[in-house]
Structure 1
């Protein structure tokens, strides 16, 4: 009798699992942030991390349903009781209060100061971001709600009076730098070419300047609302290990 009951239970558990060819779905919210994620003319989501996530989710037998929304709305969705996710976010203590995170899926090259080439002489005396900000001579531009990583966020918090924040995206941020609304922004080198193309402006107007106190590139994660099933998150983590391996911790 016990053996028969265990066989029935096993059958029911098998029925509850996704079978071959049958995928669960996951709502994924993204915004315009090339080259990581952006919307093509045909409405499809694309980008470095979008393509990587599609590979990972397919391995986990999960179908991604992408929704293009403003950046501020994404964290609203993650804080809601709706099962939702977003790609490529940094893990911070504040976000861990209301969200879950995957294993890391991508690591940036170290960010650099991105400035107008015409201002090169003004920046030349500074070889650290802290020194640049302490001088009081420069305004820094950033997208509201986005993190630069825990170490840089802690540094930048001391200089909010010298920060210009936008509520849209990095394309708009670049346009504001071009129109001299502030003096510099931070950008990993791999973002530059795609962002300049999206903003329809020319590379020779700008330059990157490395700073000796900017840490190694930040790890990026999939962020989930707490309404997402932990078992589904574990399946995605298993697929991350299978498809890209374990990225080094502590960045």
Structure 2
């Protein structure tokens, strides 16, 4: 009898360990204060805490790993399993290698950050469409990132010179302040944080245009191997967490 109980106990431990390994999901995130940042090497921020609640309610075990955007999409495209990232806009092409959750955050409309020497040239334009048609100006673009479908299309159709970089948004903002490019698009929350906390961006100025695209949703993106049941649990949890955040 003792031997039988021991065998059953061992089998339960083994099955439990396998289930844990199958359920563990890597959550990749990029440094993007104030929504996503680190404190004492631990991920913090509004979206980090929201995602933690979502996966906790969905009963999916996670590990959080900070990675740059290009690494995140390299992993998706190369079939990394049990893998999710968050805070991303919807881009239809990405559905070929990953699956989207329902929206879990809505951004205010983006704004434009302008270099000191380009300020007069930029404000001479009355619309974004006109600004993007100005061949004398250089637009700073963060490679591999999306600015949302509408703005991505406008940039692609524009006539500006393009300065592309794989750097963080904060570093691109410093480049704008140092006149490395004429202007860039930036999230309003990011700019509010940077202008208060980074002396290197204070030469730049903010400009808005009436035809800037409206607010956009952010999503959790997961690898194709994540099951339909897991995605349903994630979406159900998002409904609870997102509603609570908008009601508060």
Q: TM-score, normalised by structure 1?
A: 0.82
State the Cα deviation string for residues 69-89 of structure 1 (Å, max 9, x = none). 222100011223322110110
Q: Distance in 2 between matches of 1:185 and 1:246?
A: 33
Match of 2:143 in 1: 144
* Structure 1 residues 223 and 180, CA gap change in structure 2 (3 angstroms): same
* Structure 1 residues 118 and 173, CA gap change in structure 2 (3 angstroms): same
Match of 1:107 in 2: 106
Assess if the C-alpha contact under 8 Å between 2:98 and 2:222 holds in 1.
yes
Assess if the C-alpha contact under 8 Å between 1:36 and 1:49 holds in 2.
yes
Q: Distance in 2 between matches of 1:228 and 1:83?
A: 6
Q: How does 1:1-251 map to 2 (within 5 A)?
A: 24-40=23-39, 42-81=40-79, 82-117=81-116, 119-159=118-158, 162-196=161-195, 199-201=198-200, 203=202, 205-245=203-243
Assess if the C-alpha contact under 8 Å between 1:39 and 1:68 holds in 2.
no
Question: Where has structure 1 moved over 6 Å in runs of 4 or more?
Answer: none
* Structure 1 residues 237 and 87, CA gap change in structure 2 (3 angstroms): same
Q: Distance in 1 between matches of 2:85 and 2:216?
A: 17
Q: Distance in 2 between matches of 1:229 and 1:200?
A: 46
Q: TM-score, normalised by structure 2?
A: 0.82
Structure 1, unpaired ranges of 5+: 1-14
* Structure 1 residues 99 and 198, CA gap change in structure 2 (3 angstroms): farther
**How far has the Cα of 1:106 moved from its partner?**
0.6
Structure 2, unpaired ranges of 5+: 1-14
What is the aligned residue count? 226
Assess if the C-alpha contact under 8 Å between 1:127 and 1:210 holds in 2.
no
